[in-house]
Chain A
Amino acid sequence: MTTRRTDLPLRRPETPGLANRLDEISEWLEQGKIRPAQAFHLLSEAERPAATTASGATAEEDEERARARRIDEIMKELHGLVGLAKVKRLVQEIRAFTEIQQRRKKEGLAAEPVVLHMVFKGNPGTGKTTVARIIGRVFKEMGVLSKGHLVEVERADLVGEYIGHTAQKTREQLKRAQGGVLFIDEAYSLARGGEKDFGKESIDVLVKTMEDQRDQLLIIIAGYLREMEWFMSQNPGLKSRFPIQLEFPDYTSFELLQIADVMLAQRQYRLSPDARGVLESRLSRPYLPGEDNPGNARQVRNLLEHAIRRQAMRLVTQGRITRDDLMLLMASDLFDGEAGL
């Protein structure tokens, strides 16, 4: 024989399935789902004997469980909010969606990119900011956002006063919100003012950033129902870029009363029976023409805070004050012309 096979494999034989694993990992690398360093890390994991991966897995599972617990806690907080049934359901849906997409990614299946920019439609005081803050925290725990903080801005924070100023201001806010949520209140005002207005430029910068860095940032635009619908119709491209639309309905009078109870409990006050009656009739009264925002948690808060101040005024002139007096709000505290009664 003149030729001798010399290319016998001397290296350790491949464990079954390892070849597939290598293909799979190469695929992810090619698709840009993992960094080269992660690819090598995964390869190391795949080659290691089963015993060591088992102990590694438990540590990972522990971490996983702790994370799930933290998410549950935040969800509990969300469910503690009064009303908002639809919103809660949708947040749960989003949570399930992101979780499954992440699992699929882990298994190397095709995963939908998690694009979750949102539109919040509703009157002031219907819980939009509160929900946005909770969503930021949930996404942080789920690993969708790195920080999960909320940056609340409005037109004046985004739109500049001279040419070129707007792009700079908008980018600045986007940078602040990096890794978290950019919450744009009354976003429709960006499209007001016609063609020459700088608001349009701000929208362009936002849209561009949304395309470029889909994972790093969640943008929520919020405002009145009718105005937001008008806004979305003005910019046809926006609808597809904000796939999630949430409506925040006004609170019913019953829900407002519940909110009042929660607020009072937090502040350690209670209502006298007749004060409760006054509040109830105030909250369930059909609203007057011109008053277009009846179911509003912020108004409830203002009402209660005003009552608390009036109670204080009443008590300082009183001789002997018991602990109970300090907690009790009377009908007369609520009943004041200026508080809107």
Chain B
Amino acid sequence: MRQCLIIGKANAGKTLFLINFAEYLGARSLRLSVERSDGSVSDASFGLADARKALVDAVPHKTLGLQTLTLSVPRGKTVRRIQLTDSAGLSEDVHETIDVRKAMAQTLRHLRLAGMVLHVVDASQVGQEGAVEAMGEVDLQIARYAPQRGPYAIIANKMDLPLAKSGLQTIVQTFRGQPVLPVSALEKRGFREVRSFVWKHAY
């Protein structure tokens, strides 16, 4: 089973992407295994609506642990399974809160297990900042490192927002050579391309 790590800057929309993408793949409820940065693991079950309410917030750094979801989807005669792990968002600067830093370090450590990386970027924010330099350094460095680990795709999220279109262009230009998949996690659009990317590399 392939482990797929969802990574990206804080408030890029990783958790909402996880929940809504799971729904798109046919999940009716979520059984999440949550690993906190101190190493403790707990399981939690959510209905989809509850999960969105409980796990998603407009304030950055809502997620401070690894939230893993195992999905199985029948495909032909076999069942394919994949683990999607949502991780704590990364900041541009050294974050002043130790808990956030711990969670970011945990994200980094988890890279060892990840066989696939989905890198979520907030396209509307990139569009807002305009120029190529506006791409955060974290995003650039992730894009440089993660492809070395295995299959890698950039999820250009928040395509429902007005500035996201120009942001997407910037992203495609900046990360030339890497697959960029535009989605709106909120409106559940663009998921088909993500699914085909994930299944192509799942086993």
Contact = CB atoms under 8 A, between A and B. Distances in A.
Q: Is the interface of A mostly helix, strand, loop or mixed?
A: helix
A12 to B, nearest CB: 8
Given A10-B203, A22-B111, A23-B109, A36 B104 contact: yes
B92 A22 contact: no
Given A10-B115, A11-B115, A44-B145, A36 B91 contact: yes
B77 interface: no
A9 interface: yes
Given A19-B112, A36-B104, A37-B140, A11 B91 contact: no
B142 interface: yes
Contacts of A19: 112
Nearest to B203: A6
Contacts of B148: 12, 44, 47
Nearest to B103: A30
B149 interface: yes
B166 to A, nearest CB: 23
A37 B203 contact: no
B192 interface: no
Nearest to A11: B150
A29 B105 contact: yes
A41 interface: yes
B102 A40 contact: no
Interface stretch (B43-51, B93-101, B126-134, B176-184): B93-101
Query: Closest 5 A-B residue pairs measured CB to CB?
Result: A40-B141, A30-B105, A37-B137, A36-B90, A26-B105
Interface residues of B, number: 32
Given A26-B105, A30-B102, 18 more contacts: A6-B203, A11-B115, A22-B108, A22-B111, A22-B112, A29-B104, A32-B96, A32-B98, A35-B91, A35-B138, A36-B90, A36-B138, A37-B92, A37-B140, A39-B108, A43-B108, A43-B145, A47-B145
Given A32-B94, A37-B136, A27 B105 contact: yes
Contacts of B104: 29-30, 36
Contacts of B115: 9-11
Contacts of B96: 32
A93 to B, nearest CB: 29
Nearest to B109: A26
Nearest to A19: B112
Given A10-B150, A22-B108, A30-B102, A40 B94 contact: no
Interface of A: 6-7, 9-12, 14, 19, 22-23, 25-27, 29-41, 43-44, 47
Interface of B: 1-2, 90-96, 98, 101-102, 104-106, 108-109, 111-112, 115, 136-138, 140-142, 144-145, 148-150, 203
A33 B94 CA distance: 7
Query: Considering residues B92, B95, B141, which has the most beta carbons from chain A within 10 angstroms of its beta carbon?
Result: B141
13 contacts: A6-B203, A11-B149, A32-B95, A32-B96, A34-B94, A35-B94, A36-B91, A36-B108, A37-B136, A39-B141, A41-B144, A44-B141, A47-B148
A36 B140 CA distance: 11
A41 B145 CA distance: 7
Nearest to B80: A6
Query: Considering residues A6, A22, A25, A26, which has the most beta carbons from chain B within 10 angstroms of its beta carbon?
Result: A26
B174 to A, nearest CB: 14
A25 B142 CA distance: 14
Contacts of B144: 40-41, 44
A278 B105 CA distance: 71
Contacts of A23: 109
B201 to A, nearest CB: 9
A37 B141 contact: yes
B147 to A, nearest CB: 10
B108 A31 contact: no
Contacts of B95: 32
Contact of B145 (A27, A31, A33, A40): A40
A119 B144 CA distance: 46
Contacts of A31: 101
Contacts of A7: 1-2
Query: Considering residues A12, A23, A29, which has the most beta carbons from chain B within 10 angstroms of its beta carbon?
Result: A29
Nearest to B97: A32
B4 to A, nearest CB: 12
Contacts of B145: 40-41, 43-44, 47
